[in-house]
A and B are shown apart, each in its own frame.
Chain A
Amino acid sequence: MNEPRTHKVKDIFVDGAIDPGFVGTSIAKHATRTDIGAHEIFLGQVRADVIEGRAVTAIEYTAYRAMALEQMTAIREEAFAKWPSMTCLHVHHSLGTIHAGELCFMVFASAPHRVQAREAVAWVVDRIKTGLPIFGKEILSDSAHTWKTNK
């Protein structure tokens, strides 16, 4: 769990949905880090938005991986600079087809105290949504599609 705070590029992308069980396993892996007092976790779930009378049944995620991972490395470094007491930060984002109700995004920060973890997760989530070249094709109930745009 003791992540090196280096320039090493970590892959955040996973094929398919994030298994809710993986979230529990991720928490359990921190049991030995008894300097941690707070975990903060954001989980993104695919929402069945209704677009012109048709529900979104799934989102097909693609990414410009090389740029996304470079951006993520910069965000990670900035996050550790802003919240130096943060113990660790884990980010996972799905690629491929994720059905409504499944998890597609996880940001998990741990720190000695809750404020750092909470602030860091909120900031990292926003930075990822606005700064990483990830694209989402929303598949509708009649097999048509639209392209998701983050507001």
Chain B
Amino acid sequence: MLFGLIAEKAGTDRLELQAGSLGELRGKLAQHINGFEELSHAIAVDRRVTHDDVPLSGEEEIAVLPPFAGG
């Protein structure tokens, strides 16, 4: 799932990508979203922001989040 500015840049709020790890997924996101590396973002795996290169089974809920702006 993609949100906010990230969804706007990707032109969609949902992408289907195959990746065995979060690191691999980051690489694929960069291929699909122009300028992805320059966009400030965090990735949540099952609703928790995850910075490590964790393995992915394909069952996880993955969300790419631009900077938070609540309040």
- Interface residues, chain A, CB within 8 Å of chain B? 44, 59, 61-64, 66-68, 70, 93, 104-105, 125, 128-137, 147-150
Interface size on B, residues (CB 8 A): 18
CB distance from B35 to the nearest CB of A (A): 14
B3 adjacent to chain A (CB < 8 Å):
yes
Q: List 13 A-B contacts (CB under 8 A).
A: A64-B44, A64-B47, A64-B63, A67-B48, A70-B47, A93-B70, A104-B71, A130-B68, A133-B65, A134-B69, A148-B69, A149-B67, A150-B71
Given contacts A64-B44, A67-B44, contact A135 B3 (CB under 8 A): yes
Give the CA-CA distance A150 to B16 in the complex, in Å.
Answer: 29
Question: CB of B30 within 8 A of chain A?
Answer: no
Which of A70, A135, A150 interacts with B5 by CB under 8 Å?
A135
Contact with A along B47-68 (1 / 0, CB 8 A): 1100000000000010101111
Asked whether A64 and B3 contact (CB < 8 A) given A70-B47, A133-B63, the answer is yes
A-B contact count (CB 8 A): 72
Known contacts A62-B3, A105-B70; 16 further A-B pairs (Cβ under 8 A): A62-B4, A64-B63, A64-B65, A66-B47, A67-B48, A68-B70, A128-B70, A129-B68, A131-B68, A135-B68, A136-B69, A137-B4, A149-B40, A150-B68, A150-B69, A150-B71
